[in-house]
Amino acid sequence: MKKVALVTGASSGIGEATVKTLLAAGYTVFAGARRQDRMRGLEQQGAILLALDLTDDASIARAAEQIKATQGRIDVLVNNAGYGSYGSVEDVPMEEARRQFEVNVFGLARLTQLLTPMMREQRSGKIVNVTSIGGKFGEPLGGWYHATKFAVEGLSDCMRMELARFGIDVIVVEPGAIKTEWGSIAIESALKYSGSSAYAELAREKAALFSGADGGFASEPSVVAEGILKTIKARKPKTRYAIGGGAGVFMFLVRVLPDRGIDRLMDFIAKSALKRQKA
């Protein structure tokens, strides 16, 4: 019997690459996202498309019910959907802050709530929560985004302990710099909310950093997708996997540097990116 997987945020980037990787590995794969038109290529490759809006509880419930009704089981849930909204904590409207949490945290949690019962009945399953190396440290203008990733890290730890007795593994994948649409969305929001405020210089530095002026060390989404496949195939997976551009280096620095040292490092990286862009 083929194992059944659901990948959220499947219309681009890491999600799209993960769907392709799991299909190639022989899984029955549901590809979930709001932008159905962008997933037609995945459908042609064998994916089952799900209209999934993580800010809409009814949409989440319909997606979970479709999997239960058509497959009767779920072996792998890859909670990948998310985005990075940037801007200073002072500048970003609370409405946008709440939306960031709705997509990155509450939608993830609600979908997991609805699919976990099937895994418990099976006494098996893998839940992969895609966070970020940004779930371990902060940076200027990333307050709300990093807050969501810290939240998913903590939520995952609790879920892991709760579900272990039912044969369910909860695994955190922490991507580093990846070549996706994420950077352009972060640039747009940083400039929108803080580009003309007291934090304008920070916004310009962040835009330079995310535009690729960081030396071009970002990895392809397929690198993370292959890592996710490795985690779900492992008999005893690790609790966390840092994958992709600079992830291992940053995680090491977070372990060895004091908080003020990380502050200075983030400041240096951003200012250096802007200087290179101007040069």
Question: What is the identity of the amino acid at 232?
Answer: I
CB 173 within 8 A of CB 244: no
Angle separating helix axes 200-210 and 182-194, nearest 10 degrees: 170
Q: Kindly list the distances between the CA atom of residue 223 and the CA atoms of 1, 48, 176, 279, in Å, as whole numbers in the listed order.
A: 27, 23, 11, 31
pLDDT at 84 over 80: yes
pLDDT at 215 over 80: no
Site of tokens 């940004």: 134
Question: Residue 6's beta-bridge partner residues?
Answer: 30, 77
pLDDT at 267 over 50: yes
In this prediction, residue 279 has a pLDDT band, given cuts at 50, 70 and 90, of low
Please give the backbone phi and psi of residue 72, each rounded to the nearest 5 degrees, phi first: 75, 5
Burial of 93 (0-12, 13-18, 19+ CB in 10 A): exposed
Q: What is the DSSP letter of 32?
A: E
pLDDT at residue 183 in the model: 86
**Residue 212: closest CA among 244, 175, 179:** 179
% pLDDT > 90, the chain: 87
Residues 13-37 pLDDT 10s: 999 999 999 999 999 999 999 989 9
Site of tokens 């280096």: 249
Q: What pTM does this model have?
A: 0.94
User: Does residue 27 carry a catalytic annotation?
Assistant: no
Residues 6+ apart with CB under 8 A from 100: 83, 85, 144, 145, 147, 148
Q: Which one from 145, 193, 199, 241 is the annotated catalytic residue? A: 145
In this prediction, residue 216 has a pLDDT band, given cuts at 50, 70 and 90, of low
CATH dotted code for 4-82+90-180+222-258? 3.40.50.720
pLDDT at residue 214 in the model: 45
**190/1: higher pLDDT:** 190
Angle separating helix axes 143-163 and 94-101, nearest 10 degrees: 30
- 46-69 as b/e, with b when 16 or more CB fall inside 10 Å? ebbbbebbbeeeebbeebbebbee
pLDDT at 213 over 50: no
CB 75 within 8 A of CB 6: no
What the block records as the tokens of 119 is 């895994």
